Amino acid sequence: MELKFVLESLLFAAQKPLSPHELRDVLNRAAQEEDAIEPVRALLKMDPLRIDEALKTLEEEHRTAGRSYRLVCVAGAWQFVSEPDYAPWLRAFLGVKNRPSRLSQPALETLAIVAYRQPITRAEMEQIRGVAVDGVLSSLVERGLIEQVGRAEVVGRPMQYGTTPAFLEYFGLPNLEGLPDASELRRIPVQRPESLLTVDPGLATAPESPKLEDSGAEALTLPLEVAAASADSESTSVTAGDPKPQGGSEEAPPAGA
């Protein structure tokens, strides 16, 4: 019994995306059943690398098959989804939930900085953008797109921020390595002070450094805008195993689900 077909059956029946770790747990539980047959026991303690290879093989096979659905990895979890071309019929049959409101340009700019420069402090974001980010930062945290990930090893130990799994889901990315190229944003230097800087009037000011507007905000946020547009194009269907649309990127089951 081929591993890839076992994984395929699990993903087809799953009510939510499954990570390789979750799939491995299912294989182990099945193998430890008292009445498990030899082909089932053979998958006990499966090498995670073999599971990854089998999933990627399935992904390629479904992609080249030209069916109405495919296998995708988003935020490290795998699921079957319908192709966007079938959205009109899925909307008529299932209806859709509205995606969360679009990000404003300031929020998108700040999120791009965090995504490509994480972990990063608020003061460092403000050096790059050239404006205060307090309100935008709070909004992104409330939406679950970024979170506190630790403290910088400088005087004052300011909080550092990074992206969350919800960020990957929002933009339809498998992991951070899937971010579009934004080499210009990565090259902007940030001066790390000995003490925490502030942009409050009358107090210390950030030293002169290249700012986001000097580098072209549109060019720096374009990679995330492209990713968001791609996610929007697939937001009208549901995942395999779900009777109703879920979340912000609803996609549909293959025929027979």
In DSSP terms, 159 is beta-bridged to 151
> What 8-state DSSP symbol labels residue 241?
T
* Residues in contact with 251: Cβ distance below 8 Å, sequence separation at least 6, in sequence order: 79, 81, 82, 234, 237, 238, 239
User: Into which CATH architecture does domain 3-83 fall?
Assistant: Orthogonal Bundle (1.10)
The single residue listed with the structure tokens 């935020």 is 75
- The Cα 57–Cα 64 span in angstroms is 11
Nearby residues of 19 by Cβ (< 8 Å), 6 or more positions away: 76, 77, 78
For residues 13 and 79, what is the distance between their CA atoms, to the nearest angstrom?
A: 10
Same fold yes or no, 3-83 and 105-231: yes
In angstroms, the CA 97 to CA 235 distance is 9
Does the pLDDT of residue 232 top 90, yes or no?
A: no
Q: What is the pLDDT of residues 20-31, one digit of tens each?
A: 999 999 999 999
Indicate the SS3 state at residue 77: strand
pTM over 0.85: no
Burial class (CB in 10 A: 0-12, 13-18, 19+), 132: middle
* Distance separating alpha carbons of residues 131 and 150, to the nearest angstrom: 23
CB 6 within 8 Å of CB 43? yes
Q: Which residue has the tokens 């205060």?
A: 132
74-99 confidence digits (pLDDT tens): 989 999 999 989 989 988 998 876 66
What is the SS3 assignment for 210?
Answer: coil
Using CA atoms, how far apart are residues 189 and 236, in angstroms rounded to an integer?
A: 40
Pick the CATH number of 105-231 from 1.10.10.10, 1.10.530.10, 3.40.50.460, 3.30.110.30: 1.10.10.10
Which two tokens mark 36? 């498990």
Tens digits of residue pLDDT in 187-208: 555 555 554 444 444 433 334 4
Residue boundaries of the structural domains of the chain: 3-83, 105-231
Helix (H/G/I), strand (E/B), else coil: 163: strand
Query: Which of these ranges, 118-122, 123-127, 187-191, has the smallest mean pLDDT?
Result: 187-191
Q: Are 161 and 149 in contact (CB under 8 A)?
A: yes
pLDDT tops 80 at residue 124: yes
Retrieve residue 14's tokens: 């799953």
Alpha-carbon distance 97 to 251, whole Å? 11
The tens digit of pLDDT for each residue in 39-75 reads 999 999 999 999 999 999 999 999 999 999 999 999 8
